[in-house]
């Protein structure tokens, strides 16, 4: 369980504080929605949450099965729709380091990514296009 306190600070900004750690993040409305675009927007954080959750879940699976994913990079592209304004699609590109992964490791990685808690929590109408780039 995690508790986050979020305060509206004006000018379409919020400041959220993770109560356990005290770490804070600021959100700003995007340029195309009356904001300054000077920080992550709430919908950016949705996309970041998906990518970070995939990496974390893959990392747990890798630890459990004795292999390494250090240096893996995820590139997230968020696609918005209108009427109603919402995230309609998130493109996820997982770029793995130049490590030789077995077929079993690849299956473990793919399963962990596609079944991470954020992926399973998002509305099924929001498309999640996930690509895995193994350099081997």
| Across 111-130, average pLDDT | 97
Average pLDDT (6-24) is 96
CATH number for the domain spanning 119: value is 3.30.300.20
Residue 136 has pLDDT above 80, yes or no: no
Q: Is the pLDDT of residue 18 over 70?
A: yes
Q: What's the domain count of the chain?
A: 2
123 and 91 share a domain? Answer: yes
Considering the chain, what is the average pLDDT of its residues? 96
Answer yes or no: is pLDDT of 55 > 90.
Answer: yes
* Full domain range(s) for residue 24: 4-33
Q: Is 75 in the same domain as 19?
A: no
- Provide the whole-model pTM: 0.93
Are residue 59 and residue 21 in the same domain, yes or no? no
Check residue 34 and report its DSSP letter: T
* pLDDT tens by residue, 96-115: 999 999 999 999 999 999 99
């Amino acid at each position: 369980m995690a508790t986050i306190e979020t305060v509206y600070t004006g000018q379409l900004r919020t400041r959220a504080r993770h109560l356990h750690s005290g770490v804070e993040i600021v959100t700003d409305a995007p340029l195309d929605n009356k904001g300054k675009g000077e920080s992550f927007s709430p919908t950016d954080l949705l996309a970041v949450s998906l990518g970070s959750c995939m990496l974390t879940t893959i990392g747990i699976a890798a630890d459990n099965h004795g292999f390494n994913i250090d240096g893996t990079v995820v590139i997230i592209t968020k696609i918005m729709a209108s009427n109603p304004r919402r995230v309609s699609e998130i493109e996820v590109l997982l770029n793995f380091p130049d490590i030789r992964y077995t077929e079993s490791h690849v299956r473990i990685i793919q399963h962990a990514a596609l079944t991470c808690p954020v992926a399973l929590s998002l509305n099924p109408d929001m498309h999640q296009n996930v690509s895995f780039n193994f350099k081997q």
